[in-house]
Chain A
């Protein structure tokens, strides 16, 4: 190569900005990858450890629940919506049932509402405990997993005792809770309330969950490496979070005090004393911390509900064949992952005409390209994990 003035000028410019000519590499993270929580695929353009941009590719888990629910009756749909966010299956049922009840003008008895509330908070607890288990694992610490999952099992045992299912309870009926049919008229009355000893076992389990919260705080929050890995990483400013429709603990970690348990009235939360936890910086650390505190708040709510649960029937009077009058409504609820909403359109039949499911994780991971731009490869995992999404909730 001949060196003339032009080449020298060019070379000097190049060497100032780029010392080594490097080429970007496309790194496919997923759909089969240990920490994408299932089948999320991230197409990352990386230069060594630095990641220039990330495009999430979703849809590997699309099961067509919105369409499926159009050809099912209302009582059948709870089995489907259970499987949207399978870590907190119970919590998915409630807003759908409430939407149908709202159109029908039926209201569940107070005891049923309390049971729904207790089980919803248990589902929140179970979901957040899974996060407590999996997030340190993504940072390389394997041990908190076992402590968190051990106590989650207590919570799931209680859920199973009431509903018969750990993950997919299918326990809500329009107008109440309980297995309304199929038990026979003589045994139906006996099995259709909370199991014996449930209230006492719940208090015990809440004590244990609070115990493991302290343990996890010692183990995780007291660890310098975790703090170094999460503080200041993946910062989500409140205005960005709001504009992307991020909800739930992720939104509250960014400092926005918005909780549908306060804003809506799908369950009798107004008679309970609990705090809406908010973070300060909106980084991974805050998202972890907010969820830990929410487990504690959930335990507080459950203990209050167990103390104050009213007596009474579990099922309101509804016709044998449920037909929802013509109309449309939107009911949203504060699920463990964030805002879960059902837009229900009924044409008066036994099943919905159209059901739009607004799931929290879908909106929450839409912020990934913003969060992951210019970040390091290890921080991709740290940030992605801190959003706590479930692929069933993303793809539906």
Chain B
């Protein structure tokens, strides 16, 4: 019986459909879990209650209600907006996020597609959403959106470099660019790479925060300055797309960081045979730990100024990341 069910998935199209469905369900689910964590944790940090009534207990259904609200809203496109670009931008942002799920290993063999250039693909595809943000800012026919979009472009270009360079350290240590290969290398080595790559991990997390345009790097949105930045003119389900993409992106960035530096689905002391089952749980635990840190930063820090952000990237993070690569390569060759 089970075999016949599994046989169906041997068909390429059925398997593809199943995977697509899984991702399509996974992203809103993850977005909601992290989004709910954010609203509840921020309430806790600010001596507030947070949502309380939706769903009966703890306001657990708040984000579902919000989602339904967004769908009910009128679809407003400004008169002067560049309509096709305006409509494409949110999709492009979400595509950049969804495509990242392809290479995240949730367990041994539990990966949508184990590309041999996995990390390279992940970092390349994550820049896709930059274009979406720039398109959103450009097409909105709003000066605040324009400034926000250009800020986003400048910021994401600046932080793409430290992000990639920080990942290189782990790649050198593992000797492979495949995401599951990196995890397996950590299992073989017997320790997560963060022990030697703590500089790389720190740079990666800072750069990831900037990629996600979260506080302290949320200048493209900067509510107090640019109203809502590139999102100013978006409402309804288009806004929901950006919203989902933000939280799903938090997940994928945390998952990549966990895979590269924290041993992915593996934890020291867990027998490797059981990883097929506990692996996803371990990965999720690590992801939520990192996502918690991101939420914590967001509700603690103010935002940088645009020039301070660029200074941080070009004068500190990139040289530091290069030094980290040099040191890693040196020890790899010598030891």
Chain A residues with CB under 8 Å of chain B are 25, 27-28, 33-35, 48-49, 136-143, 145-147, 150, 223, 225-226, 228-229, 376-381, 385
| Main DSSP-derived SS at the A contact region | helix
State whether A136 and B302 are in contact (beta carbons under 8 Å apart), knowing that A34-B223, A378-B219, A378-B222 are contacts in the complex: yes
Whole-angstrom distance between the alpha carbons of A385 and B224 in the complex?
10
Does the CB pair A141–B305 fall under 8 Å? no
State whether A376 and B306 are in contact (beta carbons under 8 Å apart), knowing that A34-B224, A141-B301 are contacts in the complex: yes
Complex interface: chain B residues within 8 A of A226 (CB): 302
Is residue B46 contacting chain A, with contact meaning CB distance below 8 A? yes
Q: Which one of B46, B223, B225, B300 contacts A377 once the chains associate, using CB atoms below 8 Å?
A: B225
Does the CB pair A376–B227 fall under 8 Å? no
Does the CB pair B303–A139 fall under 8 Å? yes
Most chain A CB neighbours (cut-off 10 Å) among B48, B224, B301, B303: B224
Does the CB pair A140–B224 fall under 8 Å? yes
Complex interface: chain A residues within 8 A of B305 (CB): 228-229, 376, 378-379
Does the CB pair A228–B308 fall under 8 Å? yes
Interchain residue pairs with CB less than 8 A apart (10): A28-B143, A34-B227, A49-B151, A140-B302, A140-B303, A142-B299, A143-B46, A146-B47, A377-B306, A380-B225
Nearest Cβ distance between residue B111 and chain A, in whole angstroms? Answer: 37
Whole-angstrom distance between the alpha carbons of A139 and B303 in the complex?
6
Chain B residues with CB under 8 Å of chain A are 42, 45-48, 143-144, 147, 150-151, 215-216, 218-219, 222-225, 227, 299-308
Nearest Cβ distance between residue B232 and chain A, in whole angstroms? Answer: 11
State whether A138 and B224 are in contact (beta carbons under 8 Å apart), knowing that A376-B306, A378-B306 are contacts in the complex: yes
Does the CB pair B306–A225 fall under 8 Å? no
Does the CB pair B216–A225 fall under 8 Å? yes
Whole-angstrom distance between the alpha carbons of A215 and B319 in the complex?
36
Does the CB pair A223–B47 fall under 8 Å? no
What are the nearest 4 A-B pairs in CB distance? A140-B303, A141-B302, A139-B302, A146-B46
Complex interface: chain B residues within 8 A of A377 (CB): 147, 225, 306
Most chain A CB neighbours (cut-off 10 Å) among B45, B216, B227, B301: B301
Does the CB pair B47–A140 fall under 8 Å? no
State whether A376 and B302 are in contact (beta carbons under 8 Å apart), knowing that A140-B222, A146-B46 are contacts in the complex: no
Nearest Cβ distance between residue A380 and chain B, in whole angstroms? Answer: 8
Whole-angstrom distance between the alpha carbons of A48 and B146 in the complex?
10
Nearest Cβ distance between residue B97 and chain A, in whole angstroms? Answer: 24
Does the CB pair A27–B143 fall under 8 Å? yes
State whether A140 and B216 are in contact (beta carbons under 8 Å apart), knowing that A223-B302, A379-B305 are contacts in the complex: yes
Most chain B CB neighbours (cut-off 10 Å) among A34, A223, A376, A380: A34
Whole-angstrom distance between the alpha carbons of A159 and B218 in the complex?
38
Complex interface: chain A residues within 8 A of B306 (CB): 49, 376-378
Whole-angstrom distance between the alpha carbons of A25 and B47 in the complex?
42
Complex interface: chain A residues within 8 A of B304 (CB): 225, 228-229
Does the CB pair A25–B143 fall under 8 Å? yes
Does the CB pair A147–B216 fall under 8 Å? no
The residue on B at minimum CB distance from A35 is B224
State whether A147 and B224 are in contact (beta carbons under 8 Å apart), knowing that A140-B301, A225-B302 are contacts in the complex: no
Does the CB pair A142–B216 fall under 8 Å? no
Does the CB pair B300–A143 fall under 8 Å? yes
Complex interface: chain B residues within 8 A of A385 (CB): 224
Does the CB pair A229–B302 fall under 8 Å? yes
Complex interface: chain A residues within 8 A of B46 (CB): 142-143, 145-147
Complex interface: chain A residues within 8 A of B42 (CB): 142
Nearest Cβ distance between residue A41 and chain B, in whole angstroms? Answer: 14
Complex interface: chain A residues within 8 A of B300 (CB): 141, 143
Does the CB pair A150–B224 fall under 8 Å? no
The residue on B at minimum CB distance from A219 is B300
Whole-angstrom distance between the alpha carbons of A66 and B304 in the complex?
43
Nearest Cβ distance between residue A17 and chain B, in whole angstroms? Answer: 21
Nearest Cβ distance between residue B100 and chain A, in whole angstroms? Answer: 27
Whole-angstrom distance between the alpha carbons of A225 and B150 in the complex?
22
Complex interface: chain B residues within 8 A of A225 (CB): 216, 301-304
Complex interface: chain A residues within 8 A of B303 (CB): 139-141, 225, 378
Whole-angstrom distance between the alpha carbons of A381 and B302 in the complex?
13
Nearest Cβ distance between residue B36 and chain A, in whole angstroms? Answer: 18
Nearest Cβ distance between residue A248 and chain B, in whole angstroms? Answer: 23
The residue on B at minimum CB distance from A226 is B302
Whole-angstrom distance between the alpha carbons of A48 and B48 in the complex?
38
Whole-angstrom distance between the alpha carbons of A27 and B151 in the complex?
16
Whole-angstrom distance between the alpha carbons of A229 and B227 in the complex?
19
Does the CB pair B302–A146 fall under 8 Å? no
Does the CB pair B307–A376 fall under 8 Å? yes
Q: A33-B227, A34-B223, A223-B302 are in contact. List 14 more A-B contacts (CB 8 A).
A: A49-B151, A49-B306, A139-B302, A141-B215, A142-B42, A142-B46, A142-B299, A143-B299, A143-B300, A146-B46, A376-B306, A376-B307, A377-B225, A378-B219
